[in-house]
Structures are given as C-alpha cells and as structure tokens.
Amino acid sequence: GAGVSQSPSNKVTEKGKDVELRCDPISGHTALYWYRQSLGQGLEFLIYFQGNSAPDKSGLPSDRFSAERTGGSVSTLTIQRTQQEDSAVYLCASSQLAVPRDSTEAFFGQGTRLTVV
Amino acid sequence: KQEVTQIPAALSVPEGENLVLNCSFTDSAIYNLQWFRQDPGKGLTSLLLIQSSQREQTSGRLNASLDKSSGRSTLYIAASQPGDSATYLCATNDYKLSFGAGTTVTVRA
C-alpha cells in the first residue's frame, strides 16, 4: 500500500475483554514497530519485528500483551483482559533497511485509539 | 538506554517569527535522527531525517542540524505560519526509535 495502515482507527472495549489491533506496513518493509502513546505521555516502544521474528519485545508492559507478524507483512497486537490503564493510542511504524544504513527512515500509521471502559 | 529530551515543552509565537526547537540525547551511537510532526489525534508525519554522517538537512522552511558528539539536534522553522501549529517530536534511531516528549508549538495569527 501507499502508507502504513492501521485498523480499527478507534476501539472502545469493556474492561476484561481481549482486543486485536492490526498493522499493515508499507509493502516491502521488513522492519515493523509498535509504540504506545498515552494521554500526555511520550511514545513508548513496545516491540520490534524484523521479518516474522521479534528480536526485541522488551517494551511489552505485561504478559497480557503479545504480537505476531505473518508472511513478513501484517502484524497483530493482542491485549488480553484489558485494563483501563491500557487506554492509549497504539502506533505502528515500518521501515526498510537502506544502504547506507543511516538513511533508513521510519513511517508511521495513523494509530488506533483504544479506550477501555 | 537512550534518553531523549526536548526543550521547551511548549512554545507560542506570533506568525512570521522563526522557531527553534531543541533535542538532546544521551547515547551518540545512532544511525540517524528523525524529526516528526504530530497533529492532534493524528499519527506522526516524518519531516526530516539526518544521517549520522550529516551535520544538517533542509526541506523548504525547515532546517535541522545534528551534532552527534554533543548529543544535540536543533530544528529551525523559518517564518512560522499558523499551519505550523503542532507537536514536534525528535527520535534517535539505533534500529528502534527513541522519542522525546515533544514540543507543542502554537503560532498565533
């Protein structure tokens, strides 16, 4: 696609329910990232994929959070047993390792606004 | 762990004034640094990317400098317009992006 696409754009869920957030990266981009932006807070790194593997998942806040990526393309972030503190905007970004490496640029989607009530 | 700081947190200027936004970081082992713009309720739009081998990068009214050795980058916006009102974020890239908290800019007509 032309850009990074995320769905849904907005999600309201009840506390305790599971949610799935989807990210469709720019075609051909091998790197994919998930970030979280809470109200009034900066962007918090969650997880990094290179292809289908996740060499860095150090930012996942608890074991209720998981993510997968299939076919080197679409990624799904799953939050189980949602809590009110999970309310935030979840942003996805993708990039393609460039040559030289320091010209690698990341592009972001519009985000999914998650509200847990 | 990379720590990125942006000063000031907020800035309000009259239209036509030049803007200077500051970004500092603790670990100079980065590939590059990106400046982003975020409008309320929206995602991030990439404005400029400065490679680690570069000292500055320009795009239209925007100019960004990078001093890796001192861990600083500055974004200059010339002749500001009300449409420049947004939050500006800098991010260092060492395979993942580490963000500052941003500078919220208001340009008064």
Q: How far apart (Å, rounded) are the C-alpha atoms in residues B59 and B66?
A: 15
pLDDT higher than threshold 60 for residue B82: yes
CB contact under 8 A, B53 and A104: no
First to last CA, chain B: 41
What are A19-62's pLDDT values in tens digits? 999 999 999 899 999 999 998 778 999 999 999 999 999 999 99
Q: Among residues A13, A86, A106, which one has the least CA distance to residue B43?
A: A106
Give the pLDDT band of residue A80 (cuts 50, 70, 90).
Answer: very high
pLDDT over threshold 80, residue A101: no
B53 contacts on A by Cβ (under 8 Å): 100, 102
Q: Taking Cα atoms as reference points, which of B76, B101, B61 lies closest to residue B20?
A: B76
pLDDT at B103 over 90: yes
Q: Give all strands (DSSP E) within chain A, no chain letters.
A: 5-7, 10-13, 19-24, 31-37, 43-50, 53-56, 65-69, 75-79, 88-95, 107-108, 112-116
Residue A1 pLDDT > 70, yes or no?
A: no
How confident is the model at residue A99, as a pLDDT? 66
pLDDT for B22-73, tens place per residue?
999 999 999 899 999 999 888 899 999 999 989 999 999 999 999 999 999 9
Among candidates A42, A110, A111 on the partner chain, residue whose Cβ is nearest the Cβ of B99:
A42
Q: How far is B11 from chain A (nearest CA, A)?
A: 16
Contact A48 B44 (CB under 8 A): no
How many CB atoms neighbour CB B70 within 10 A?
Answer: 10
Q: Considering CB atoms only, which of B52, B53, B102 is closest to A42? A: B102
Would you call B34 and A106 a contact, using CB atoms and an 8 Å cutoff?
A: yes
pLDDT band at B75 (very low <50, low <70, confident <90, very high): very high
Taking alpha carbons only, the member of A56, A100, A30, A42 closest to residue B98 is A42
Task: Say which of A43, A107, A110 has its CB closest to residue B99.
Answer: A43
| Mean pLDDT, chain A, whole residue set | 92
Tokens 């996942």 label which residue? Answer: A60
Does the pLDDT of residue A10 top 70, yes or no? Answer: yes
Written as six digits, the tokens of B76 are: 């200059």
How does strand A19-24 pair with strand A31-37?
unpaired
